[in-house]
Structure formats: structure tokens, C-alpha cells
Amino acid sequence: KQEVTQIPAALSVPEGENLVLNCSFTDSAIYNLQWFRQDPGKGLTSLLLIQSSQREQTSGRLNASLDKSSGRSTLYIAASQPGDSATYLCATKNNFNKFYFGSGTKLNVKP
Amino acid sequence: SAVISQKPSRDICQRGTSLTIQCQVDSQVTMMFWYRQQPGQSLTLIATANQGSEATYESGFVIDKFPISRPNLTFSTLTVSNMSPEDSSIYLCSANLDTQYFGPGTRLTVL
């Protein structure tokens, strides 16, 4: 069974700092990997989706990379803002539409 | 894009009672998914609900405890039966279109 691990569990940074969130997974046979943002009472919002054949995806200040062979993905956030404060989840999807989620990184960006 | 709504957004229930959670998608989808997020933990898939067939449950989850209905392509319900305090969680429904969408969640507290 796929195991997804996220490090660190929590992170507190001053506004403006660049930061990296890490995600590792045990089974490289994934269909895609997705990064989500979770805000209290608002469910999950998809940030970036990387297909298994891709190496990275970018959206605005966010960049996600995928190294399937080593079972790793990173989410890079540039010039962090207080509005980025949330829990960030990574999830792998297999060929049967099943998602496996990490336990998340809780990010706090201080003004 | 898609919008998923859930009712209720939160509830406090007594031990031994049941609660039915509703999930509405603003697009027609073949598969809908129900997840549980226990306090401080990540999301765990409960079951996959296809319209017109029985739901498929993940290991550790059974139909008697979590009956699911899927009457049409935009709606599903999850019932948490004979509740105990261990059922206190956030329950989220999800659907896949161009990407994976999640509802805002139902926060359940069982006393």
C-alpha cells in the first residue's frame, strides 16, 4: 500500500521568505501527484497537478517538482505571504483513481 | 471547474445515533468519493460511489457502518451509523473532473 510522508509537519516563516515543502512516497507506480491547500472549513483546493511523465509544474509563485524514481516531490513557494498560511497536502493517485494523502505541512507565514 | 457542496457543515451528535451527510456536485460525475479526516491526521478514503451500482469500500470500512447512496450523477449521501466518539472527524466528499475537487467537509463531533 502506498505510504505518503510529508516533512516538516509544521513550518513558521517570516513574510517574504522562500520555502520548500517535501513529500515522499513509497510506490513509484503513480498516475499523478497533486498538491492541495486545506483551509479550515473550506475543504481542499488543488494547487498543482503533476502527471507521472512530467518533472514539474508551475503556477504563479508555486513550483512543484516530481522525481518518480526516488519517490519525492517538492513544493516551492516563492516570496511567501500571510495569505499562504494553510495546511498543504500532497497526494498520489494510482491507475484506479485512488488517492493516498500525506499528513500535511501546516504553514504559518508571519507578517 | 466544479463546485461541491455538503450539508450539514457541522453537527454534534449523541452516541448511538446516525447522521446522513449530503454531497452535491454542480456537474455530472461518474465517480464520487467519501473521505474521513480524523483530528490531526490526513485523509483516508472510505468508499467510492458509482451511480447505479453498490459503493466500493476500503479496508476497515463496512457498508453497515457507512451506508452510501448515489441516486444520480450529481448527488451522494454518506450515513455514519450507530456513532461513537471515535467517529468524530471531518467527512469530505470528492469528485474527479479535470482535476480532483473536494467539498468543504462536514465536521462531526460525537459525544
Q: Residue A30 corresponds to which cell in the numbers above?
A: 503513480
Model pLDDT, residue B41: 83
Question: Tens digits of per-residue pLDDT, B24-50?
Answer: 999 999 889 999 999 878 899 999 998
Interface of B with A (CB under 8 A): 4, 9, 31, 33, 41-45, 48, 92, 94, 96, 99-105, 107
Asked whether B96 and B31 are in contact (CB, 8 A), the reply is yes
Confidence of residue A35 (pLDDT cuts 50, 70, 90): very high
Residue B48's DSSP bridge partners are B33, B56
Selected for mutation to probe chain A from B100, B106, B108 (highest A CB count within 10 Å) is: B100
Q: Name every residue whose Cβ is closer than 8 Å to that of residue B40 and which is 6 or more positions away in sequence.
A: none
What does the DSSP 8-state code read for residue B46?
Answer: E
Q: How far is CA B77 from the centre of its chain?
A: 7
Cell numbers 513550518 correspond to A11
User: A43, B48: Cβ pair inside 8 Å?
Assistant: no
Residue type, A83: G
Q: How many Cα atoms sit within 13 Å of A3 on the Cβ side?
A: 2
Question: Tens digits of per-residue pLDDT, A40-88?
Answer: 877 888 899 999 999 999 999 999 999 999 999 999 999 999 999 999 9
Q: pLDDT per position in chain B (111 positions), as tens?
A: 789 999 999 999 999 999 999 999 999 998 899 999 998 788 999 999 988 888 999 999 999 999 999 999 999 999 999 999 999 999 999 998 878 889 999 999 999
Cα–Cα distance measured from residue A93 to residue B45, given in angstroms and rounded to the nearest whole number: 12
Interface of A with B (CB under 8 A): 4, 34, 36, 41-46, 49, 89, 91, 93, 97-99, 101-104
User: B41, A89: Cβ pair inside 8 Å?
Assistant: no
B8-45 burial, b if ≥16 CB within 10 A, otherwise e? eeeeebeeeeebebbbebeeebeebbbbbbeeeebbbb
pLDDT at A34 over 80: yes
Selected for mutation to probe chain B from A1, A59, A97 (highest B CB count within 10 Å) is: A97
User: A46, B100: Cβ pair inside 8 Å?
Assistant: yes
Confidence of residue A7 (pLDDT cuts 50, 70, 90): very high
Cα–Cα distance measured from residue B9 to residue B21, given in angstroms and rounded to the nearest whole number: 9
Lowest mean pLDDT among A1-5, A12-16, B15-19: A1-5
Rg (CA), chain B: 13
